[in-house]
Amino acid sequence: MTERTRTRAILAGIVTVGTLIRIPGFLHDGLWRDEAYVYIDAIAPTFQAFLHRVVETEYHPPLYFLIAYGWVRLAGTSELSLKVLPVLFSVLTIPAVYRLGTIAGTAAVGLLAAAMYAVSPLAILESGNYLYPLMGLLCTALAALIMAGRRERLRPARLAAIAVVTMLTMYTQYAALYYVPMLAAWALSSPRGVRHGLALAGALGLGALPFLFWLPTFLRQPDPYFLRSPWHPGNPLFVPPPNALDKLGFFAWTIVRSLPLWPEKLAIVLGLFLAAALVRLVMSRKVNADAIAMGLMYAAALALVAGAGRFGIRYVAPLLGLFCVFLAWIVAAWFERIRLERPSQWARWGAAATAVLSLFMVTEDIVFAAHTAGMPESGIRTFVRSQPLDPATLYVIAPDYMTATFAFYTRGAQVAYTAFGQTNHPEIFRYGRDAGIYSPRAVRNAIIALGKEAGAHEYLDLIVDDAGNSAKLSRGRLYRSPARRLLDAMRARYPLLAQRQYPGRLESVTVYRFRTQGYLRSAQ
């Protein structure tokens, strides 16, 4: 067997393991809010209505939604058909990470980086999260194109590929607004000279230019990424701005979660070892500038996200492939140093230690994948599947951004539901009809409107997001929400018959059942 054939066989095995380890989540996670919006978008009666929904309710560029729109026309709108696209993109990222690692170092670095990405808890967790795996695939491919372009002579085909992939990246997620400039700065440091670097940066700029057509939409969207504070009064769940310690904690926690080992205590141990190894490599001047650049770009993106207070790990997850290349280079360089400086010890223990560590990482990450699949992403899924939907019940979702999940899991059922819209920009298309909007400054008016609509029903089920409900703490601060005031007003007017929590990994809810018939007068 040749070296090339052996490498391909190992890569095929890594891709197979990465695919298998994503299957539990694919089969059992279900959909939650963001993914359910894809369903709401896709069932629009016309393509024009679909584009309108994407513009008005999605805080992302349209590429992924256009792909999903075409996909559901072929595969339908089942739970698995809506989940398969992101999982496929996540699997395809594994060989892309191998390619990036090979360019940065050697085939060994590429294989190790691909293996790290394949079993990474963060990659597994995000593998079904609608557009983010596509962004990860594009970011990894773009970094590989720039890295190869920095070393080799300029070719029109490569410059064209850089421009096209840049355009696709810009139209997938707004993280490209900081990622593409990072790549441009890196391209300008090309070892082949300033003109060479300017050509690469020019290709990036050319690919970013079509984003100007989307820029007006981006600027008028309700929450245009980093351009608006997440603590504005219109935010349905708001807390005081995080302090520097909060931001530093998020940065450190995300680095730990990005390591290819679980649980966190073991990841911390691995992180300390890799940090010590990196220091030794730098002190001995055995550095790989391209691999270090991958790590720096990941850290810079994470610092930007943490500094802006956007405590969402998904904002940096698309760059995880770059971080895996950085980690793989550290491990490969450290092992190579031991092999050269202590050949007898390496011959005795090297292969066995590598095999044991690899098996341990894969086993722990399989446990992680099974653990995360044990709880669905949304508690609404559990609620709807736990009992028959009752035509005598009016279902009220508070806040309205969870209505997409409810609409998906009640599709085809004859149930009455409405939503408490507590922002000026409601994120809801009610299945088959217009949204029911209630002002966040007029909970009393919402109660009156609900009383009128509930007159034809015996019960009212108020489905409340746990994060906005009562005394749930986040970073030591109390969430406040108009949905809480709505709940208090409902309790004052209707008898509470039952209360039950339905946990979800991303969308936990509590359902409050009220009796409405015979109590309408108290709502006036």
Residue 319 CA to residue 299 CA, distance in Å, equals 10
Would you state the pLDDT for residue 431? 40
pLDDT one-digit tens code per residue, 189-228 = 999 999 999 999 999 999 999 999 999 988 887 554 444 4
Would you state the pLDDT for residue 238? 45
DSSP state of 378: B
pLDDT at 463 over 60: yes
Would you state the pLDDT for residue 233? 47
Taking a C-beta distance cutoff of 8 angstroms, is the pair 366, 313 a contact?
no
Please report which confidence band the pLDDT of residue 310 belongs to, taking 50, 70 and 90 as the band edges.
confident
Q: What is the mean pLDDT of residues 375-397?
A: 90
Q: What is the mean pLDDT of residues 451-477?
A: 67
Would you state the pLDDT for residue 230? 52
pLDDT at 252 over 60: yes
pLDDT one-digit tens code per residue, 51-68 = 988 887 788 999 999 999
Would you state the pLDDT for residue 453? 77
In the chain, the domains with their CATH numbers are: 3-30+78-217+244-373 (no CATH), 379-523 (3.40.50)
First to last CA, the chain: 82
Taking a C-beta distance cutoff of 8 angstroms, is the pair 471, 478 a contact?
yes
Please report which confidence band the pLDDT of residue 474 belongs to, taking 50, 70 and 90 as the band edges.
very low
CA 354-274-301 angle, 5° bins: 125
Strand partners, 509: 465, 502
Residue 394: helix, strand or coil by DSSP?
A: strand
CB neighbourhood size of 323 (10 A): 28
pLDDT one-digit tens code per residue, 328-348 = 999 999 888 887 777 777 677
pLDDT at 356 over 80: no
- Which H or E run contains 460? strand 459-465
Would you state the pLDDT for residue 152? 87
Please report which confidence band the pLDDT of residue 451 belongs to, taking 50, 70 and 90 as the band edges.
confident
Q: What is the mean pLDDT of residues 385-407?
A: 87
| Percent of the chain's residues with pLDDT above 70 | 87
Please report which confidence band the pLDDT of residue 476 belongs to, taking 50, 70 and 90 as the band edges.
very low
Q: Which amino acid is at 200?
A: L
Would you state the pLDDT for residue 482? 67
Please report which confidence band the pLDDT of residue 435 belongs to, taking 50, 70 and 90 as the band edges.
very low
pLDDT one-digit tens code per residue, 289-298 = 999 999 999 9
Considering the chain, what is the average pLDDT of its residues? Answer: 84
Please report which confidence band the pLDDT of residue 481 belongs to, taking 50, 70 and 90 as the band edges.
low
Strand order in the sheet with 416-419: 416-419, 393-398, 459-465, 509-515, 496-502
pLDDT at 179 over 80: yes
